[in-house]
Each structure stands twice: as structure tokens, then as C-alpha cells.
Structure 1
Amino acid sequence: MKHDRPRAGRTASAWLLIFMLSLPAFLPACSPREAEARRIVLSCDIAGEPFVSAAQTAEITVMWLAGGVYVALDPRTVRWTVEASYVSAKAWARSDRTLLNGLYWGKSAPSLSASENDRSKMEGTPPTGVRAFLTDIVGERKVTVKAVTTIGGQTYEATTEVHFGPGPLAAFAGPPHGASTWREAVKACGGTWDVDMSGYYQPQTRLPTEEQLYAVAGRSRYGAAHAAGWRDDAYGSGFFLYWTGKACGDGDDQDVRIISLYDGAVEWYYYLMKDWYHWYPDSADGAPVVVCVP
């Protein structure tokens, strides 16, 4: 006699089949923890140290971090950008502290001999590869740098902050302004002068030394003053004439050292006939400028 299987058994099998078909397909994928571990990482070799010369160069490196292990990237896939910049130097004279003047891709900076226009974009071609070099001539600057790469069809990006330390501009108390006579310049800085002008630098004037001005001049010293937007002469020819705290002579015969920031090498003494004598802005060389030191 033929016996049928219990209907309940067939029903249980059917339910089991339906349940198995309803399970999600388990495709190869990273778990959230694994996905988080797979990322690119940036490192920088400077962290706000003072300049040792007229410029400071940061080296930023990107690595691929997978499962706690650093793996070298294909340099052809990496692209770099500067996302933001902020200058906190007191002697920065431009109205916008986020401008990029004085910041350049590469290991060196061009030498400036006149004030730049405001720069809101990086000049030159951004680097490619796993290392990027960024050079600053201003100092006291924070820069946000981003690297982007593509791995297995997926885009990864990371940012880091580069902190440039105090540069040659840090020697000054603020941006410059006009002063037609040396005594006017001293008073503007809240300083005093010695009646016996023996030709030595007088720190009580609160005017800069020659060396401090040379350090921000153009040509071989790169020109931080020009990057920072320090005042040019009336004709825009690049001749910045700045008072120093060095004077000599007595009575009506007094010589005061004035420095041109055009190329950092021009210097001369200016003959002061009387205290009331002024160097007028319409003179051939433009009016002198004062910048104070703390």
C-alpha cells in the first residue's frame, strides 16, 4: 500500500527553503572597522619652529594605511592642493590674512623686489607624488594641505595643518607707515634718541637695525616685506626706504641710515639739515617709511 509523506513535513521544508532564500547575499566587503582602517595619512616635518634662514620649507608625505600597516602609494595617483592659509604675523600689512602671498610649492621661493598683488591662488603647478614641498617666506603661518588619491576605483583624501614658525617679519611690532623725518619716526614708535649721536645703533629709538630690514628685503633675502604688502614708494618702482635707529652727527649736521628694501643691498646716509626738514612724498625716491620694533 502506497503511503504519502506527511504534509507537515513538506510544509516545513518549504518554509526552510523560503527562509534560506530570504537571507542576504554575503559579498566580499570591508566591515566598518576595516573601512576606517583603510585610509591615507599625511605627515609633516615641521611644527612651528622658528626660521633658520629667510625661508622655511615643509615636506609633507602621504602613506596608505591598511589594517595598521603603512603601504607605499603609486605616486602617479596623488594630487595636492592648499585648502587654506592664515598669517598671524603682526607685521602683515595686507587687509586679508588668508591670502597666499609668500607661499610657494617646491623647495625654494622666488626673490621679490617689489610688492606683489594680492594672491588668492597658489602659483605654479601643484606637485604630484607621495611627497610635497611647501616653502614660506613670511612666517607665523598656518596652512591646510590636502592630498587626494584613487585606490581600486575609490577616492581617498586627507588633510593636515602645516605650521610655519616665526620668520624675519616677527622682529617687527606691526605694519609700516609714513614718517617724513627721523625724529617723527622715533616718536611714532614711542622711542627716544640720544643727543650724542655717535653713529651706533640706538635701541631706545625702537627703530629697526639694518640687519632686521635686510632680512625682509628682496633679491637674495627673498623679500618677506614685499610678500606682506609693506608700503611701496609713490611711483610703485619697488624702492622701499625705511628708517633705522642708527644716526650720527650733532647740531645741524646729522646723518641717518635709511635702507632700501628693493634688493637688500642699497643703503645710504641721509643728510638732515634741520629738524624741520621733511622728505616730501613727491621727491624722486618717494617718502621714507617707519616700521617699529617691540
Structure 2
Amino acid sequence: MSTVKKAPLSSGSTDSGNVPPVAPGQEVSDVQYRRFATFIEEKCGIVLGVGKQYLVNSRLSTLLSKFRISNVDELINKAMENTPNNKIQDAVIDAMTTNETLWFRDTYPYTALEQFILPELAKKGKYPVRIWSAACSSGQEPYSIGIVVQEQMAKMIHVDPKQTQIIGTDLSPEMLNTCKLGQYDVHALSRGLSAERKAKFFKPTRNPNIMQIDPRVKSMVEFRPMNLLGSYALMGKFDVIFCRNVLIYFSNDVKADILRKLTMCLNPEGYLILGSTETLVGVADKYEMVRHSPGILYRLKPQKYAF
């Protein structure tokens, strides 16, 4: 489905990471890399492409000691075994889809939410207001949305937090556990969160290096497991969908299918917010572009479309 991302796949973007080099003899072989790329695309829809062995090595090498396996090739073999409750497979998919995120990434989506989208919904008097944060990683995006809604309370026209439903979804069970706990360390809190917001919306814990998201915000967000390749039938309709910095790692056909399903989950005149480099593959005719400097939002046209 949760940002400056530590890895790609169904939750976000990729980098080479600050992971030490894999020991000689442990690296994924070219043949195994091609097999693994096919496997991860079938499971998660992500296209690794040519020359991304470094990414697989850096992500999967951290699991070798955990499972007492000597090299990445063997780890991949065990992950690809079609056996019930394959914990190695779960861990490998989790490692390849885990993301490190920022609070209020890129600023403009949250400014647009605060200054434009929420006031518009408040004037319409539409309740409940439903917002979906797809591929929410460790929860910073949906909690950032909740903070913006809470801050609206000081304004004359505002959306009622008690009638606002924020749904965060992600493929990774480990990330969802982090989301539900709502606790973040000093490093995570330093990434995109102002001192003012930190003081207002976080509470100290017994650990001086960890803070807890305020219950007012935490209670607004529900987290669910979801693979963006699957069915969205149980999600219902939303007024706003955040699906940012996710689509760029899928093939064009998969992008188009995900966007079609997201569009079906939007209320007429609802807003879709993508990453700055992502486009409306296959559904551009169903939206109108709304510029909110320096970014762009997409508003679903009021007509009803057949998909």
C-alpha cells in the first residue's frame, strides 16, 4: 500500500540504503536475481528491473543471521517455496516492502488538505469524511493527516475530527504493528515534524527516546492489511485518497489497474493525491487537475463512469 522510502515495492520508493556491503559469496547470483524479480512482481506487482541486485542484497542480507542461512540465493529458494505459513517468505516480502517515512512529506499535500480540501468538505456538510492513506508504511502519512484535521478545530469552518475516518493500509504486517502502536523514536520524530507539532501532538513515554502519538490523533486512524494488487471491494468510498510515491515502481498495466480501482473508491468530486512524479495512467479523462502551488491534486469529475 505508509515519505523518503528505504525500499520500493507496494509501499514506496527505493534507495541503495546505508547498509554495509554483503560479504563475498553471500550476494544474489544473476540467475537467482531474475527468478526473484519474477517472484516479487507476482507477489507484490513491483518491477525490480535490471541492475537492482544491490537492493536485493542490502535488504535480504539482514535476514541471513535471523534464519541461519549462509547466502541470499538459499534464502530466496526457501522464500519461494510454496508451503503453508512460510515465515521466510513473509520476512522476505516484508524486507522488500518496508519503508522509512517522513512526517508531512513535500508539505503541499497537507497544505492543500488544510486550506482547500477540508474547508470545501466542511462547507458541504458531508459526514463522515473518509480519507485513505494507501501504502502507509510506518504510519507517518495517516497520522500527519490526522494532525491537520485536529488543527482545523481552531478555525470557524472545520471538519469534525470525531466524524472523520482515516484508513491507513499497507502490505507489511510489521509496519502495521508499528502504525498501531503509534510510538516513534527520536530519529523518526526529527524527520519533517516541527517542534510545535511535536509538543502538541506527542506524549512522552517511559523511554526518553520514544514518544507516543496523542490519543486524539491515534483514535482517528484505523489500520488494515492490504495488497494493492488485490480487491478494494471492502474499502468503501472516500473523499480523499493519498497514494503517493507508490505507483512509480509498478508496470504501466499494473499502475492503470490500481488507478482504476482507486478511482472506483472515490466519491464524485473526491480528491486523489499522487506523488510528484506520478501520473494518471489510464484514468486521466476521469479527473480534472487542480493546481495547488507547488503541487497538483486530481479531482474526480462529478459524472458517473462505468469501469
**TM surpasses 0.5:** no
Question: Structure 1-normalised TM-score?
Answer: 0.24
> Which structure shows the higher strand fraction?
1
Q: Which has the larger radius of gyration?
A: 1
TM-score, normalising length from structure 2?
0.23
